[in-house]
Amino acid sequence: MAVHCPLIAQEGVIITGSLTQNPLQQPLGELPVIEFRGVYKTYQNGTHALRDVNLKIYKGEFVFVVGASGAGKSTFIKLIVREETPNAGAVSVNGFKSGAMTRRDVPRLRRTMGIVFQDFRLIPGMTVFDNVAFAMRVVGASNFDIRKRVSSALNLVGLGGKARSRPNELSGGEQQRVGLARALVNNPSLIIADEPTGNVDPNMSYEIVELLTEINRRGTTVIMVTHEHQLVRDFNRRVVMIESGSVIADSAAGGVL
């Protein structure tokens, strides 16, 4: 423990600095769950998707990521889940640092987070129950845990009664709630959702975000990319705006940078 003390003190200094302009930020001394430091991402074809992104997200935060199409939002998400690696700078997520990760660390990192897809990614041949259970099976959970946890995840998203249904028997909103249950079932400390309401009826979008805020209230950090400005306004959470690969506004840092 003693070894870590100077580190925490160091972080503390940085945080004190930002606290003056950032009343929403987390208590002094806490390490960020996600930190981007001078991150650049350029794709193979030369597209500069992110430029010099610096950002900290703390435990228990709910962050909307917004911006025009092609701004770099999905790239930002892909760097968090280690779908892509930065060309310069450092990304640190739940203690995994981009520069120091091996290939074996990738599944370890992903087990600390739950991912929600815009296209739901439900397996058509499986029941709702099996779709959620799948996420537990493939990381080696026991049948006992699977039975217990899948039911409670389905109850949490309000689909306890639909366990035996097939995905094609559900509405878009319901399908995404199954996706949410699957992201939650392994008890991650972080939920990542890239346009989770993109394929959902606007009325249903509220339900989804409602659920995400409920999950967030229980302590899970949530990062959600969205195009729906009305949603962002109504839920009044931290908003990070990306334009042409740069973070141009962050409500946590007092609005426009």
Ligand X SMILES: Nc1ncnc2c1ncn2[C@@H]1O[C@H](COP(=O)(O)OP(=O)(O)OP(=O)(O)O)[C@@H](O)[C@H]1O
Q: Which stretch binds Mg ion (CB under 5 A): 20-28, 66-74, 164-172, 230-238?
A: 66-74
C-alpha angle 200-189-164 in degrees, rounded to nearest 5: 50
Task: Return the one option of other proteins, Mg ion, ligand X, none that residue 72 interacts with (CB less than 5 to 8 A, by type).
Answer: ligand X
* Residue 29 burial class via C-beta count within 10 angstroms: exposed 0-12, middle 13-18, buried 19 and up: exposed
- Output the smallest distance, CB 84 to ligand X, in A: 8
Q: Does 149 bind other proteins (CB under 8 A)?
A: no
Give me the residues that bind ligand X (CB under 6 A), please.
43, 45, 47, 49, 67, 69-75
Q: Which is nearer to ligand X, 74 or 205 (CB)?
A: 74
How many whole angstroms separate alpha carbon 166 and alpha carbon 246?
Answer: 41
* Nearest distance from C-beta of residue 91 to ligand X, angstroms: 14
**DSSP assignment string, 169-180:** GS-HHHHHHHHH
> Of the two residues 29 and 70, which places its CB atom closer to ligand X in the complex?
70
Considering only 137, 147, 148, 229, the residue that binds other proteins (CB under 8 A) is 137
- 257 interface partner picked from ligand X, other proteins, Mg ion, none, CB below 5 to 8 A per type: none
At 255 the three-state DSSP class reads strand
> What's the distance, CA 25 to chain centroid?
18
Letter string b/e over residues 222-235, b meaning 16 or more CB atoms within 10 A of that residue's CB: bbbbbebeebbeeb
From the list 74, 94, 221, 226, which residue makes contact with Mg ion (rule: CB under 5 A)?
74
Q: What are phi and psi of 79, to 5 degrees?
A: -70, -35
Interface residue with other proteins among 48, 51, 59, 121 (CB under 8 A) is 121
Shortest approach of other proteins to residue 139 CB, angstroms?
6
Question: Which structure tokens are listed for 152?
Answer: 């409670």
Is the Cβ of residue 76 or residue 206 nearer to other proteins in the bound state?
Answer: 76
Q: What angle do CA 13, 19, 21 make, to 5 degrees?
A: 130
The answer to whether the CB of 222 falls within 8 A of the CB of 199 is: no
What would the x/- binding string for other proteins be over residues 69 to 98, using CB under 8 A?
A: -----x--xx--x-x---------------
Element (H, E) at 148: helix 143-156
Nearer to other proteins, 23 or 144 (CB): 144
Contact positions toward other proteins, by CB under 8 A?
A: 74, 77-78, 81, 83, 104, 106-111, 114-115, 117, 119, 121, 123, 134-135, 137-140, 142-143, 182, 186, 194
Residues in contact with Mg ion by CB under 5 A are: 74
